[in-house]
Structure 1
């Protein structure tokens, strides 16, 4: 059923601008972290882009709150939006919702539910791994006693943490780095559980459908 409420119309109109802003935010943050020797005017430009994008996110959150008509109940019923506003590095995950929003404009999504869960979880893992590596690297690269000296080390750490392998050869030593690590661990467990559960459910459906087809083929004509 097509939703033509004010909140739904606002979400459709802001889907593309906010998705672009999310990528700009991630790009500006990556430049500031990975290019510390950048000339000051360019660093200021990146900082301005970060603030402008965050302002867009804040305005969108306020408008969605107002259009929802829920009052203070909006905060607990939209935990991901609230957390993403407080932790702007999670905003690039909005790109994951962009595909679904565009498909709703055209009607039914092209992918099945299980395929969408796996695809979204995979894209979320890539974005979370990259942003987590940036955030931890920013905290660890100059810390005394840290063994995460390059961005490659940070990417390796993010991959092993998100996959729940955790080799332990590269670990954060700063308090903020460890806080970020806890968030990456929690996200890794959630994504792994979503993919595993969806894949298992899909396999069960496939096997069930095959069994039903065999039963139909074995039935005698007119039975």
Structure 2
């Protein structure tokens, strides 16, 4: 049964969906600019950091509001533990890249609604976003470390592609603990996406085969029914032809002539006879 709290929660999510999506995009942009442009002035870097903190705080407010509006709050907490973790853990400086996960969760929530029924669009957008964000995160924690071999975004992007596809050439790899955590998340995401695509493709193939078999069975039954009807029609035609032949006198004895008709020629052959 839908309660007033459920209605309020649904109304809140619908009203804030667009704003949160825009904030998530701005959040990722503010996170990416200092990483992609390491030569930015300190004022720009501080401005981007403040923007990130403010938006991250707004994500936290959204979580608290949804918790308050939820009918079963314990159930909400249990089902949104991961959301809570990525909101709390980035307080620690080494785990600041987890803030990106918060933005990804917000974007994913909207992407599911936008692309429902469009599997290819959803999978493609999710994959591109994961690679882009994963490359940003790995470059953020690896660049500047003397033992690291990922020092530019193209290198990080290449690493992200080979990692999410589970290819793993090994030419670029993380050397820090934070970088390995990013790699772990990207590998898990890649395995999940590949498994999802493979399962969906297998389901589609099975459905197509089943549909083809059902169509073949239907076609076979239709052919058998048509053959039966043709045999019935042929039998009817044969019966009608026999009846028509019989009606035209085939196989019938001639009728005897009447006496009046026999006497007429005799009278004709003896004219004037009294």
TM-score w.r.t. length of structure 2: 0.71
Cα distance in 2 for partners of 1:18, 1:51 equals 14
Q: Please point out which of 163, 186, 206 is paired with 2:165.
A: 163
Where does residue 50 of structure 1 map in the other structure?
52
8 Å CA contact 1:93–1:124 kept in 2: the answer is: no
Q: 1:19 to 1:163 in 2, by over 3 A?
A: same
Cα distance in 2 for partners of 1:169, 1:195 equals 27
Residues 73-112 of structure 1: pairs in structure 2 closer than 5 A: 73-86=75-88, 87-90=98-101, 91-101=103-113, 109=116, 111=117
Residues 129-148 of structure 1: pairs in structure 2 closer than 5 A: 129-148=131-150
Q: Please point out which of 196, 199, 205 is paired with 1:197.
A: 199
Cα distance in 1 for partners of 2:114, 2:100 equals 23
Larger Rg: 2
Other structure's SS at 1:215 match: helix
Cα distance in 1 for partners of 2:40, 2:82 equals 33
Other structure's SS at 1:5 match: helix
Please tell me whether residue 31 in structure 1 is matched to residue 33 in structure 2.
Answer: yes
1:70 Cα deviation after fit: 2.1
1:72 Cα deviation after fit: 3.0
Cα distance in 1 for partners of 2:121, 2:36 equals 28
Q: 1:8 to 1:78 in 2, by over 3 A?
A: same
8 Å CA contact 2:112–2:122 kept in 1: the answer is: no
1:80 Cα deviation after fit: 4.5
1:45 Cα deviation after fit: 1.8
1:99 Cα deviation after fit: 4.2
Where does residue 15 of structure 1 map in the other structure?
17
Where does residue 126 of structure 1 map in the other structure?
128
8 Å CA contact 1:137–1:148 kept in 2: the answer is: yes
Cα distance in 2 for partners of 1:83, 1:17 equals 22
8 Å CA contact 2:142–2:151 kept in 1: the answer is: yes
Where does residue 214 of structure 1 map in the other structure?
216
Where does residue 72 of structure 1 map in the other structure?
74
Q: 1:85 to 1:119 in 2, by over 3 A?
A: farther
Where does residue 106 of structure 1 map in the other structure?
none
8 Å CA contact 1:96–1:123 kept in 2: the answer is: no
Of structures 1 and 2, the one with the larger relative CO (CA 8 A, separation 6+) is 1
Cα distance in 1 for partners of 2:215, 2:65 equals 51
Q: 1:21 to 1:45 in 2, by over 3 A?
A: same
Cα distance in 1 for partners of 2:188, 2:111 equals 25
Q: 1:190 to 1:216 in 2, by over 3 A?
A: same
